[in-house]
Structure 1
Amino acid sequence: MVLPMNISHHAIRVLRLKQGDTLILFNGRGGEFSGSIEHIDKSNCTVRLSKFHEVERESPLTIHLVQAVCVNEKMDWIIQKSVELGVSHIQPVTANRSVVRLSEARAHKRRLHWQQIAIAACEQCGRNHVPELLPLQSISEWFSQQLTNKPKNTKCKLAYRFMLSASANKRLTEYPSPAREDSITLLIGPEGGFTDEEEKAAFSIGFMPVRLGPRILRTESAGLVAIAAAQTLWGDY
């Protein structure tokens, strides 16, 4: 098989692979293939696949991250590291206090960009399922959707819905472990936090405020810390 152009470029120009070198490929739907490089030219790389391996590295805990968008570099960081930490779905949202505002065209381009970051993060950490990265929505639209629809492309129930809040009284450690077939949703606000109205809307659909400690975390840190804490308590760490 001929590798896609961007992957061929990475294999040839970045990894400096040569004819006969072995490598592992995945298609994002689980499992992976071992193979070897059969031919290389200036821009293409042909691979001969040898065996399929039913290896899985997904966490037993399904985590949905609902993240208010922030400036480009920070959002890229959130996407990359949340994938490495094992998040299952990423829903970017805009809130009333969001600094970043994207037109429909720019939002589409950013989603494509974030999807490539997610794929690259999977390549780096060895995941062979690419997390679902959903289209950007306003937080009000997303709240309305939750009232009528179940989360897309997932068979699990929502055991916990947590909204990170510096004023919350309870911590994750105070909640019992969710069942393995359940999942959790983590809601992370923008740089200026959610408005009172947005918090009330979150509470109305079942979100519970939690805090991660005595210090206030930035939006680019909060979700990652929450994912790591949830994985430590209930997931695969």
Structure 2
Amino acid sequence: MFDPIKTYCIISSMNLQGGNRFFFEFSGEEGFLSEEESFHLVKVLRKHQGDKILLINGKGKEFEAKYKEIIKNGKSFKVKVKILRLTREEKQRAPKIIGILPILKGDKTEWLVEKSTELGVEVFVPFYSTFSVAKPSKNLIPRLINKAKQALKQSGRLFMPEILSPVELNTFLKDFPWRDSLKLVGGLGSSLNIENLKTEIKKAHTIVFITGPEGGFEKTEEDMLNEIGFLRICLSPYILRAETAFLALASIIGFLTLSLGLKG
């Protein structure tokens, strides 16, 4: 029997290669897709009652389910589904990867959450600092959560990343919560070569990484990062855009943890 715990899920077509996936919230063995996801399932994918689909709970499990019926309410409707069996289970990866993410102008922060979710980042901490161009908006976190969900739909990850509330960098660093982690900061200088980095990653239970906003880090921020023990990684001989630097460091960490067999 399926454990009747309220949970957020993804639902997908049975064709995982390029298949579309959808989130929904339900209790027990049966539940409803949201109106938006129901529309996509019925009108875009043209699925029919009785079709088999996949549900992913965002906590490491995937289930086979059946599209039962459509419940209409005026012009809107929702699709009801029933879980049939567990089809796939995934372990939480190790080491845990945490990205301290600069809040950037436009939709760049959302784009970074989407791409970094695909790469395996498990916790995002959006920050603004002295030289930040953009500050957090009221709807930032819902937008970032939505992008993370979209990334899970596309990539097939079974764990939903955690997205924390925005922080002011200096305040956050004064009470930094992951002092025992491997801490990495992207920049032009470097205190680690690739062999050193591989050695450090093999020993790490948690990896925390950060790159600067459009205006870079202010000196007191750099001093605090050094004091806490962030190790500098040279990402390029050239000056990178803020979004490029964050994604580059996320890619390096993701590649090394996988190539070293550290995937949980």
TM class, shorter-length: 0.7 to 0.9
SS in 2 for 1:129: coil
Partner of 1:217: 240
**Residue 222 (structure 2) pairs with residue 199 (structure 1):** yes
Corresponding residue to 2:174 among 125, 137, 144: 144
Partner of 1:165: 187
The two structures have a TM-score, normalised by structure 2, of 0.78
SS in 2 for 1:202: helix
- Percent identity reads 26
Q: Supply the distance in 2 between the matched residues of 1:166 and 1:181 (Cα, whole angstroms).
A: 24
Q: Which has the larger radius of gyration?
A: 2
Deviates more, 1:220-229 or 1:163-172: 163-172
SS in 1 for 2:223: helix
Partner of 1:95: 129
**Residue 219 (structure 2) pairs with residue 208 (structure 1):** no
Contact 2:152/2:158 (<8 A) preserved? yes
Corresponding residue to 2:162 among 132, 137, 150: 132
For 1:225, the aligned partner's letter is A
Q: Supply the distance in 1 between the matched residues of 2:55 and 2:203 (Cα, whole angstroms).
A: 29
4+ residue runs over 4 A deviation: none
Q: Structure 1: 5+ residue runs without aligned partners?
A: 152-156
Deviates more, 1:175-184 or 1:35-44: 175-184
The two structures have a TM-score, normalised by structure 1, of 0.86
**Deviation at 1:39?**
1.1
Contact 1:172/1:210 (<8 A) preserved? no
Aligned length in residues: 225
Q: Structure 2: 5+ residue runs without aligned partners?
A: 1-30
For 2:155, the aligned partner's letter is C
Partner of 1:2: 32
Question: With CA pairs under 8 Å and 6+ residues apart, which has the higher RCO, 1 or 2?
Answer: 1
**Deviation at 1:180?**
6.5
If each structure's strand is expressed as a fraction of its own residues, which one has the higher value? 2
